[in-house]
């Protein structure tokens, strides 16, 4: 084999790939690299020609120097973004092969033959997750959750309504809530159409109905369990648990719209829930001096449903005496505040 044949064979060997990414980090196109340096731009003479009106004719140059990738910008108006850092015309920076970077509105990433290949991800976990928020949700499953949602709504209305309430009250309330659920699902489906290119109404409807049923069950079951067992903390904590279900509900919709940002959305929604819970506890402490806003368990059901052991009347009187000191303190503080108000106005 002569030298020219050897050089031709080596020139046909790919040494890197320049990957064009979508907004979720998925690879849309892989462009082979056979030699360094590589020019990027809109001009025909560029090695990598991109159809992006925000790029200069020869926008940037990629090169490998002593095993290190370097990005150098040419005469460009818009520059480039590497992480959170903006590069202007004429600047040069080192690149991490796994780090995406942007020129114009195009996201790129370089993968060299010498770079370690990421391990294969297990498919079972992905399929298990997508089965819970899958866009292929059948209308039979949606109908099942719709029936469960109607039953939960009727049960909640029965607990909250006065005896002898008309059928019209139940029908109008149920119809209104189901219509609101449909509008909610349609708005999220429009989000899926915008970001994923598909109107996934069935998937969002199943999520809305499922978490609506779970939220209703929590808000009914926890106060009821508090009454039956005598553990008032179950009733007090119902709002906090219900808020957690609603945050999980929101996260599931967001993941269906933006599946490539699952971990970031998880952290964001969890942080939102924890901050809201902390502020709620703080406000309750300032206002009532206790963690929960609920001063007592307000749920009253038929006495036969009460499973906890009965307490004698003397125990109630003893508890009332124990509360007297704290109540007197609150009364004195309120009187002091009222007495201080005229002085402040003067």
pLDDT at residue 194 above 70? yes
Residues 220 and 283 in one domain: yes
Q: What is the pLDDT of residue 263?
A: 84
Domain-terminating residue out of 81, 112, 143:
112
For helices 238-257 and 167-196, the axis angle rounded to 10 degrees is: 40
Residues 180 and 51 in one domain: no
pLDDT at residue 5 above 80? no
Q: Give the residue, 124 or 3, on which the prediction is more confident.
A: 124
Asked if residue 295 is part of any domain, the answer here is no
What range defines the domain where residue 223 resides?
126-288
Residues 10 and 75 in one domain: yes
Residues 133 and 248 in one domain: yes
Q: What is the pLDDT of residue 316?
A: 65
- How many Å apart are CA 38 and CA 70, to the nearest integer? 11
Domain-terminating residue out of 288, 320, 337:
288
DSSP notation for 24-93:
TS-EEEEEEE-SS-EEEESSTTSSEE---TTS-TT-EEEEEETTEEEEEE-S-SS-EEETTEEE-TT-EE
Asked if residue 339 is part of any domain, the answer here is no
Give the chain's largest Cα–Cα span: 108
- State the average pLDDT over residues 317-330: 73
Residues 163 and 258 in one domain: yes
Asked if residue 345 is part of any domain, the answer here is no
Residues 142 and 279 in one domain: yes
- State the average pLDDT over residues 7-25: 72
Q: What is the mean pLDDT of the chain?
A: 79
3-state secondary structure of 20: strand
Q: How many domains does the chain have?
A: 2
CATH number of the domain to which 78 belongs: 2.60.200.20
Asked if residue 236 is part of any domain, the answer here is yes
For 44-53, 68-77, 231-240, 262-271, which range has the lowest pLDDT when averaged over its residues? 231-240
Residues 141 and 260 in one domain: yes
Question: With pLDDT > 70 as the criterion, what percentage of the chain qualifies?
Answer: 80
Q: What is the pLDDT of residue 38?
A: 93
Domain-terminating residue out of 52, 86, 112:
112
pLDDT at residue 131 above 70? no
Asked if residue 40 is part of any domain, the answer here is yes
- At residue 177, φ and ψ (nearest 5 deg) are -70, -40
Residues 35 and 68 in one domain: yes
- State the average pLDDT over residues 53-71: 90
Residues 148 and 267 in one domain: yes
DSSP state of 296: S
Asked if residue 319 is part of any domain, the answer here is no
Residues 157 and 228 in one domain: yes
Residues 92 and 168 in one domain: no
3-state secondary structure of 313: helix
- State the average pLDDT over residues 42-53: 90
Residues 158 and 249 in one domain: yes
Q: What is the pLDDT of residue 265?
A: 87
pLDDT at residue 145 above 60? yes
- State the average pLDDT over residues 249-253: 90
Asked if residue 24 is part of any domain, the answer here is yes
User: What is the chain's Cα-based Rg?
Assistant: 32
Does the N-terminal peptide bond of residue 239 adopt cis geometry, omega within 30 degrees of 0?
A: no
| Band (327; pLDDT cuts 50, 70, 90) | confident
pLDDT at residue 125 above 70? no
pLDDT at residue 199 above 70? yes
Asked if residue 321 is part of any domain, the answer here is no
pLDDT at residue 55 above 80? yes
- State the average pLDDT over residues 192-201: 79
- How many Å apart are CA 288 and CA 236, to the nearest integer? 14
Q: What is the pLDDT of residue 123?
A: 63
pLDDT at residue 202 above 50? yes
What is each CA distance from 321 to 137, 316, 334, in whole angstroms?
58, 9, 20
In tens, the pLDDT along 72-124 reads 999 999 989 988 889 898 999 888 777 888 998 899 988 887 777 777 767 65
């Amino acid at each position: 084999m002569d030298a020219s044949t050897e050089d031709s064979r080596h020139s046909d060997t790919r040494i890197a790939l320049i990957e064009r990414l979508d907004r979720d980090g998925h690879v849309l196109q892989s462009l082979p690299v056979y030699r360094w340096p590589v020019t990027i731009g809109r001009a025909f003479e560029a090695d990598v020609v991109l159809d992006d009106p925000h790029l200069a004719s020869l926008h940037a140059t990629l090169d490998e120097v002593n095993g290190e990738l370097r990005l150098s910008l040419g005469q460009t108006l818009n520059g480039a973004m590497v992480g959170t850092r903006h590069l202007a015309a004429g600047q040069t920076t080192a690149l991490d092969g796994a780090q995406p970077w942007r020129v114009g509105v195009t996201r790129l990433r370089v993968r060299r033959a010498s770079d370690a290949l990421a391990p294969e991800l297990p498919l079972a976990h992905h399929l298990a997750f997508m089965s819970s928020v899958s866009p292929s949700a059948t209308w039979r499953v949606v109908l099942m959750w719709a029936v469960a949602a109607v039953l939960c709504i009727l049960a909640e209305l029965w607990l909250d309504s006065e005896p002898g309430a008309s059928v019209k009250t139940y029908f109008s309330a149920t119809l209104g809530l189901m219509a609101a659920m449909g509008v909610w699902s349609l708005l999220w489906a429009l989000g899926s159409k915008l970001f994923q290119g598909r109107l996934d109404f069935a998937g969002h409807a199943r999520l809305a109905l499922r978490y609506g049923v779970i939220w209703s069950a929590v808000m009914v079951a926890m106060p009821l369990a508090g009454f039956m067992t005598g553990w008032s903390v179950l009733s007090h904590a119902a709002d906090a648990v219900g808020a957690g279900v609603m945050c999980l509900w929101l996260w599931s919709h967001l993941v269906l719209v933006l599946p490539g940002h699952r971990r970031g959305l998880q952290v964001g929604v969890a942080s939102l829930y924890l901050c809201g819970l902390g502020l709620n506890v703080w406000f309750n402490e300032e206002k009532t001096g206790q963690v929960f806003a609920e001063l007592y368990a307000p749920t009253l059901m038929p006495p036969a449903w009460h499973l906890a052991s009965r307490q004698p009347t003397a125990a109630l009187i003893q508890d009332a005496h124990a509360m007297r000191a704290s109540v007197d303190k609150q009364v004195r503080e309120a009187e002091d505040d009222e007495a201080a108000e005229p002085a402040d106005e003067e």
